[in-house]
Structure 1
């Protein structure tokens, strides 16, 4: 392994996202080659996981692979290794052209709903225009926040000697909402404005587990809300879900004489599914002013958000109290 790997902190997570167009008729060969590549990466220090995403609609046979390591040094050791170079030389015959590669330094991914989609956008920023580019990115983020289904974005600075481009990763709750943003007139206007700061950019889509119930990051430092806010938010979604299921599905299962332990399992499946794909995204969106760490910076916001959640608790209790009786 490269000595650089031992010098970097294992806490500094690093990810490489590679996009490559596979030649028609070579998909099976490519998949076997990719499996061998994944196995080879697992033998390197710091390896945390790999993911392979097949082409989506309109992606022109473009496959995306994601490799995660516990530090930039570990990732660099893999990228520069003789073993990987041998595999790349072997796999060239499967590809229409050279692959694109983006290295993201910082942040550890968590699980998310299957429909969530991520876009990885790499920008070649003009020398000396970095400050303007950052201001432009803030303007883009404000526009994205108004777009349906937007779940958050992160900006990754260049990594000297590894990744020269600025990379922005943003997430939407569905492929349809992502496409709506990518094709919007608002984004088109912003891109025209942004050409004053960057030479070129590439967009790659990843159906990736880059985020979860409480991941809103607008920067590498912006991860999840405090545990007490997470707990209050989950209870806000969980209580009405369990009550509704008990009054509907639970009642039906009792009439059918379904054993209690089976009914409990069915209820858990339904409640977790409802929270993951419906209610938690809604709660996150409504309470973003309070949950997103970068927005909730004052005591007033903390108190206002907590008070709103408590009022919702009381409202649900009154509603279900009247319903049950």
Structure 2
């Protein structure tokens, strides 16, 4: 596919983000109903994917659903369909209040990043203030880029006849960093300034990157780190994982006379699991200053990142050399 065709395809994507507060004690019923709704959406032409995000710890019982279709016509056909209206009527007693919904046109698929949290903020912009609102958003982004943990944003314009609000979707590398930004004095001052241009706004936080459905780079290409950085990071986590498994699980399997090829299978399962859910998230978070392209532009940061990884190699080799009594 040519770059032009790829951009055109991305521009046609359409996503609906809905948040709905579920009544206390009705969560199980809601989840069954949502599964039924997801199955119904899959039967419609143009369906791409659906995701459901539960509320975070300590938050109200507000669930977020995300449906993506190949274009706006197919999405609106689903939203306006009799099938969906019947499903909403069926579940009316499960919900506490009306849903909040934004329809977003565009959004470029991107590589999923681990351990991120997404914020969806919709604004009701005053008529005639559209350009002033855009200028204010640019100023806000400049301040936001300096906030710890910021990983990018996208701005979605209203869709005539479907979505009247302007929606900003941005993400941080942790909920703590997102909350720090949302509660910061800098953002508070920016909001006071922005209220001249919008009537109201609504904030929703989702503990996900929407599976990489958005580029989160404000129009810039290349949000994933280069391959050589990814390879160095994986080795940093892989080497101690393999060594620990060899010294523990490997020894145990050998004592049990488990055949080598079976033992290797179990070791691979354990190492991949440890890397996916434990070590790589930690490495990615610790090396975010070096891995995230927008935060590693200077030569000093590049060299510092390489030095940190190389130091990690040396420390790991030294530790396991001492453990195995093979230090030369």
Residues 86-235 of structure 1: pairs in structure 2 closer than 5 A: 86-104=86-104, 105-108=106-109, 117-125=117-125, 127=129, 128-143=132-147, 145=148, 150=149, 152-161=151-160, 162-163=162-163, 164-173=165-174, 178=175, 181-182=178-179, 186-187=183-184, 190-198=187-195, 199-208=199-208, 210-211=210-211, 217-219=216-218, 221=220, 222-235=222-235
Q: Residues 314 and 182 of structure 1: is their aligned pair in 2 closer, same or farther, counting only changes over 3 Å?
A: closer
| 3-state SS of paired residue (2:154) | strand
Match of 1:3 in 2: none
Provide TM-score, normalisation by structure 2. Answer: 0.74
Q: Residues 27 and 185 of structure 1: is their aligned pair in 2 closer, same or farther, counting only changes over 3 Å?
A: closer
| 3-state SS of paired residue (1:60) | coil
Shift of 1:296: 4.1
| 3-state SS of paired residue (1:201) | strand
| 3-state SS of paired residue (2:66) | strand
Gaps of 5+ in 2: 1-6
Match of 1:265 in 2: 265
In the TM superposition, what whole-angstrom CA distance separates every residue of 1:84-142 from its partner, at most 9, and x where no partner exists?
344445544443322111234313366666x7654433334552232122222332342
| 3-state SS of paired residue (2:275) | helix
8 Å CA contact retained: 2:157, 2:167: yes
Match of 2:279 in 1: 279
Provide TM-score, normalisation by structure 1. Answer: 0.74
Where do 4+ consecutive residues of structure 1 move more than 6 Å? none
| 3-state SS of paired residue (2:210) | coil
Shift of 1:67: 1.1
Q: Aligned partners of 2:262 and 2:109: how far apart in 1?
A: 36
| 3-state SS of paired residue (1:129) | helix
Shift of 1:42: 0.7
| 3-state SS of paired residue (1:241) | helix
Q: Aligned partners of 1:298 and 1:55: how far apart in 2?
A: 38
Shift of 1:43: 1.7
Deviates more, 1:186-195 or 1:16-25: 186-195
Match of 1:4 in 2: none
In the TM superposition, what whole-angstrom CA distance separates every residue of 1:277-318 from its partner, at most 9, and x where no partner exists?
332233223433432233444677656645654564455445
Cα RMSD after superposing both structures: 3.7
